[in-house]
Structure 1
């Protein structure tokens, strides 16, 4: 599968690096803004890419099968839609869009045109989530779920100093809900489906962005409490508590290093994922679906992505 990339940020660089190890994936071109041409040419030299500064010309390139959209959140819908209309398959960074209506429109467009549309997030393609799902019944009826994904970094340091990056700019759909807590939502909803009720309470920065917050998802018989932050750090984990035991994943759920089960007083390691931060497994799966024409798997994940966007819509009302 020949992949053209849009953008030149950190996630695009990671995608290029990890795609090099994914059999069947070939990165062929990159599209950047004119003012970022130098950065684009630097990546082109390193990875053997052709450089475009015109998105229309990029989409007309017949040596591109799929477009990877690695731009700020508010650009996902526009660039993904244009790519689908041009007959390209699309790999779009999370969150897929910034509203559920946009996500549904893209999903419908992909189905109508018999194209693949993937939301790029690592969780479904590593060993952690399948292991948790397989052993969930061993802990009995679930009563509580806790998810913590809290991190600080250079973006927040710059924010405090007065320089606002898109990840902390509400005008760019930045903030802890869309950039961090979305991982927790994907985890919980992958296991338990759509919650009955939701609410969101957040801490706000000087520009109104949610720098940290907690989403509470109410299911029949239990609650899932999802906390995420960009203004503080924590021991990141998920914990599923049942009447007969618990399952815990260690590290940020986007790249959890392992999953542990405790049932009947005995602990058991269910899965280990030392390279949890790699994008290679998801890229390999996208290539497999493309090569085998497995649209069923793609559609199942896309339905899940749309449901997550609907819950994000509901939670956003609490910001």
Structure 2
């Protein structure tokens, strides 16, 4: 459980974080957290001692861990950001939460619904905070989308488009298979990029009536790209994703009175509405902070408020997203070892 007597400095109450993973995403999280007055990086976990020491030295973290159990048992650490491979999220999160740690878990939360349900049960039983680190739905741009959505009239289509050529794909084509393309780690385009289109759809519109999916497989057995179409009865959702091509098309929310244009669904800003009468409305949104700052702020706020979960990145929205992705994987024949 949360220790209300944790470190205070200059009248500010700090939350002592550890991070799992020593990669680009953890570097970004630390950078974002560094601008939050209540974030304190205290520990670093890596399976490799040398890597843990080097990363901790780089960011000034006094504690280093190479065993999850040692991290879980450490009484100084209050919260952990998990950025290990997807297939390890559930195991790491459950171990940590059983020892009273709050968990901010990188998206996707886990490999499948079963793992996520187990994580949620553990969080509730241990009275700790568990939140999926989906940055986009906590950014000011997404709040503006929600605020102005009514201006579009009846919504008829949501289009979430995120196709980005992976920096690791060139290595893959040369015969080097990095984690991003390994099915044993529950990876691939849908899990990595498709979720950016699916999660906001779940927050805005809830669970769909039905799902149809297609995908293009790579030789390793993961999807390189694909699409998901869902039916909401009075509207449809279309999500396109890829790690092997680029797309410069925006995402859109199409209504009978106008269309909202979202240039970058993963970091929503510069959003505008094109109305049927030809007028254009700019939604004056300035994120102002690091894109990952807002998930750190939300997570810390939920802890400080003593709440069970985030109202936006909630258990319900995480589970709806997981159901859509798992059904999409079932339809295209993409199974992970974690599913067995």
With over 3 angstroms needed to count, the CA separation of the structure-2 counterparts of 1:274 and 1:211, relative to structure 1, is: same
Any conservation in 2 of the 1:255–1:277 contact (CA below 8 Å)?
A: no
- Displacement after TM superposition at 1:208 (Å): 2.2
Q: Which moved more, 1:130-139 or 1:89-98?
A: 130-139
- Structure 2 vs 1, CA of residues 275 and 175 (structure 1 numbering), >3 Å: closer, same or farther? farther
Query: Normalising by the residue count of structure 2, what TM-score does the alignment of the two structures yield?
Result: 0.89
Q: Which among 38, 43, 50 is matched to residue 55 of structure 2? A: 43
Deviations 1:189-213, CA, capped at 9 Å, x for gaps = 1111111000110111122211000
Structure 1 segment 1-319 matched on structure 2, within 5 A: 1-34=15-48, 37-49=49-61, 50-251=63-264, 253-263=265-275, 264-273=277-286, 278-295=291-308, 297=310, 301-319=314-332
Deviating above 6 A after TM superposition, structure 1's stretches of 4 or more consecutive aligned residues are none
What's the offset of the Cα at 1:273? 4.1
Q: Deviations over 1:238-289 (max 9, x none)?
A: 11111111101112x1112321112232111114345676211110121111
Alignment size in residue pairs: 316
Contact 2:139 2:268 in 1 (8 A): no
Shift of 1:54: 1.8
Q: Please, which moves more after superposition, 187-196 or 289-298? A: 289-298
Superposition TM-score, scaled by structure 1 size: 0.94
Q: Deviations over 1:49-94 (max 9, x none)?
A: 1211122111111110011111111010110010111111111100
State the SS of the aligned residue for 1:318.
helix
1:47/1:236 Cα in 2 relative to 1: closer, same or farther (>3 Å)? Answer: farther
The C-alpha deviation readout for 1:26-56, integer Å capped at 9, x for no partner, is 110011113xx22222221122112111221
Looking at structure 2, the residues matched to 44 and 261 of structure 1 have their Cα atoms a distance apart, in angstroms, of: 45
Which stretches in structure 2 are left out of the alignment for 5+ residues? Answer: 1-14, 333-340
Cα pair distance change 1:236/1:277, threshold 3 Å: farther
Q: Deviations over 1:87-133 (max 9, x none)?
A: 11111100001111111111111111111001111122211222111
* Counterpart Cα distance in 2 of 1:171 and 1:192: 32
CA distance in 2 between partners of 1:257 and 1:218 (Å): 27
In structure 1, what is the Cα distance between the partners aligned to 2:194 and 2:307?
29
